[in-house]
Structure 1
Amino acid sequence: MAVDIDLHCQDLVRRFGSHTAVNQVSLEIPAGSFFSILGPSGCGKTTLLRLLAGFDRPDSGDIMIRGQRMNDVAPNHRPVNMVFQHLALFPTMSVGDNIAYGLKRRKVPTAERQRRIAEVLEQVGLAGMETRLPQQLSGGQRQRVALARCLVLKPTLLLLDEPLGALDLKLRDQMKVELKNLQKAFGTTFVYITHDQSEALVMSDRVAVMRDGRFDQVASPEALYREPATPFVASFVGDNNRLGGKLLARDGELAQVALADGRSVSGRLADSGHHPTPKIGDRAELFIRPESLVLGAAEPGHCTLTARVRATLFDGANSRVEVEAAGERCYVRLPQDGSVPAPQEGSSVTLAWEPQLARVFAAEAS
């Protein structure tokens, strides 16, 4: 069955002098999906969003929205709206007037305008608040007004530039759920920019991990977490432990890495086509998630490594033990049921893991 594509970008490039901020980026976003672009500061994600919005133009490549080329189309003529980090609500206008602003500029008749405002306020859970000013609302309510102001215009794409960045932690967690639910309710395609991996993993249908102007990997949140395509994705998405050394041997998809202290560990060789596969003797890196490590006796076939306990970090359900293994700082998640007591600082412990749960990559050039 054919899939409707709301956004198609082909080989987008944007340079600023000698710096290439967006470097040969291509992507397709199906209609009605929640797509996030995740990356550290300076990776090019905001520049890419500005290209999509029309605030900037690519040096080369094409932007297609619903099959129409947008490269030379002005921002106000694109079927796109944008929610900024600081929301940009008009402080002296009521909620209703803030939402009506775009409709008035489009000369929507008064009766239709009022109907659409009432409808969108109902959908975002703010019915009856038309006359309130922004400063009379909570942070989450102001966030929903900013969304309603865009969604009332029925854009093909809604671009969101780190809109939760100014909220406190609890409200951010609440808004992640609300944004995901609102996107599904409206069916509008969301393109969401963030440096926060939790936001991207919780809300998105697909995520592009961006670095140095390029996409390292585009995949579902689960695939990014469980099957990272590059060492950068493995280290950037979720918590991960890294052990460096040289590739000692391989048996099918399993690889053995000799660590700097002479010991060896095993994991599954990454062979995604996104990153070079190491050869015997090459520098290699093994990544293993904290929750995949077990303290104590190993099951048959598991890999083991002796480590020294540095500290126990109590964080409720996310409590961890910090250890030093082969000169690297690593973390082990403690079971929530208390079945494994926290080891004493300075003691020696055994780390065990199933080799299939670890990923081995060719080491990236430093």
Structure 2
Amino acid sequence: MGMDSDLYCEGLVRRFDNNAAVDHISLDVPAGTFFSILGPSGCGKTTLLRLLAGFDKPDEGEIHIRGQRMNDVPPNRRPVNMVFQHLALFPTMSVGDNIGYGLKRRKVPVAERRKRIGQVLEQVGLPGLEYRDPQELSGGQRQRVALARCLVLEPTLLLLDEPLGALDLKLREQMKVELKHLQKQFGTTFVYITHDQSEAMVMSDQVAVMRDGKFDQVAPPEELYREPATPFVAGFVGDNNRLSGELVAIRDNLAEIRLDDGALVRGRVASGDLQTGHRAELYIRPESLVLSGEVLNSGFSAMQASVRTTLFDGANSRVEAENGGQPVYARLPQDGSAPTLSAGSFIRLAWDPALARVFGAGNP
């Protein structure tokens, strides 16, 4: 357990009908960290959050908050607050009364309550709205009121259960930035669960990628993106192309794969179970692929692909092609230098092997 840990868990297990929804999870979250748990629906992330909040008890393992064991501490006694996707603001109370509800239950004097409500409204960018009706506020403003209601209680941990899921796309993008700023401003440790990898990558200091009750990898966002530890992380975090073929050789930590169309391509070894003669998978990001009439550098890998279509999305515009029946996406250059790409035409795609990752095809 780190000396500055706000949250430390070891060997957490929670079973339902002999199935482990949380399967020997351990984590150590330093104070002041924005820590996200990212994974698909059904991976166990909400069950894990309920264990941390105290709404459920682990079958095995330990939960410590600020060095204190929490396994048998009820939710209302833990230094924890929670923000849900459905904000559950009290509709018959003003904004100020919503925010001060927890302070009132703690019997904080009226003058102190008003002072703290005013302070926290300033901090979340809603000064002077104490007497407004929550129904009069925008979705983003209600989101900040829900955060203020928790943060005014000065919890050690703020647990957030997909809180942006009910917002429209533009507001969700805006709130991602605001949440990141608010967390740094308050210095409170956030534990945030989401299935949206963009949310986790933009906001977090550390991200735990969860699958089938376990963590596949815990790392800063950039490391997850550039150095995925498993094929699942490589495929789940960001866009990635997956090319399958036969492993021919490994030299200087580079794996050489023969694709099904016969092309020999290379990428960095990412797992220790690679065997020549067996199937392997190469992952390469669309932005790492270069549309090239010729290989740009003698060290580059290249392959031929047949164009299916082009997809316009502003700065993220790309071409969809295929190699041996396997779909491949490549980012289109923004300077207009891309050749005319018609369906059925052939293009050459090249990449620096150092930017690709190779895993054994038998990996989970």
TM-score norm. by structure 1 comes to 0.97
2-structure distance, mates of 1:34, 1:307: 41
Where in structure 1 are there 5+ consecutive unaligned residues? none
Give 1:12 deviation, angstroms: 0.3
Deviations 1:148-204 (A, max 9, x none): 000000000000000000000100000000000000000000000000000000000
1:214 counterpart = 2:175: no
Deviations 1:116-149 (A, max 9, x none): 1000000001111111111100000000000000
1:278 counterpart = 2:278: no
Alpha-carbon contact 2:86-2:166 (below 8 Å) kept: yes
Partner of 2:341: 343
Partner of 1:225: 225
Number of residue pairs matched by the alignment: 361
1:117 counterpart = 2:114: no
1-structure distance, mates of 2:334, 2:50: 44
1:30-45 aligned at under 5 Å gives the runs: 30-45=30-45
Partner of 2:175: 175
1:107 counterpart = 2:107: yes
Q: In angstroms, what is the RMSD of aligned CA positions?
A: 1.1
Partner of 2:296: 299
Alpha-carbon contact 2:261-2:323 (below 8 Å) kept: no
Partner of 2:132: 132
Alpha-carbon contact 1:231-1:364 (below 8 Å) kept: no
Give 1:281 deviation, angstroms: 1.8
1-structure distance, mates of 2:340, 2:250: 35
Q: 1:133–1:103: structure 2 CA closer, same or farther, 3 Å change rule?
A: same
Q: What secondary structure, in the 3-state scheme, does the structure 2 residue paired with 1:135 have? A: helix
Give 1:343 deviation, angstroms: 1.1
Partner of 2:141: 141
Moved more, 297-306 or 61-70: 297-306
Alpha-carbon contact 2:281-2:358 (below 8 Å) kept: yes
Give, as a single letter, the amino acid of the residue that structure 2 aligns with 1:337.
D
Partner of 2:185: 185
Partner of 2:241: 241
2-structure distance, mates of 1:26, 1:152: 29
Q: What secondary structure, in the 3-state scheme, does the structure 1 residue paired with 2:153 have? A: coil
Give 1:249 deviation, angstroms: 0.2
Where in structure 2 are there 5+ consecutive unaligned residues? none
1-structure distance, mates of 2:46, 2:31: 22
Moved more, 160-169 or 293-302: 293-302
Q: What secondary structure, in the 3-state scheme, does the structure 1 residue paired with 2:247 have? A: strand
Give, as a single letter, the amino acid of the residue that structure 2 aligns with 1:247.
L
Match of 1:316 among 292, 314, 317: 314
Give, as a single letter, the amino acid of the residue that structure 1 aligns with 2:119.
E
Partner of 1:358: 356
Q: What secondary structure, in the 3-state scheme, does the structure 2 residue paired with 1:215 have? A: strand
Alpha-carbon contact 1:12-1:25 (below 8 Å) kept: yes
2-structure distance, mates of 1:244, 1:317: 28
Alpha-carbon contact 1:14-1:59 (below 8 Å) kept: yes
Deviations 1:236-286 (A, max 9, x none): 000000001221100021000122233221100014xxxx43121222100
Give, as a single letter, the amino acid of the residue that structure 2 aligns with 1:299.
L
Give, as a single letter, the amino acid of the residue that structure 2 aligns with 1:289.
R
2-structure distance, mates of 1:344, 1:258: 27
1:53-72 aligned at under 5 Å gives the runs: 53-72=53-72
Deviations 1:18-60 (A, max 9, x none): 2110001000000001000000000000000000000000000
Runs of 4+ in 1 over 6 A off after TM superposition: none
Percent identity of equivalent pairs: 73
2-structure distance, mates of 1:348, 1:111: 73
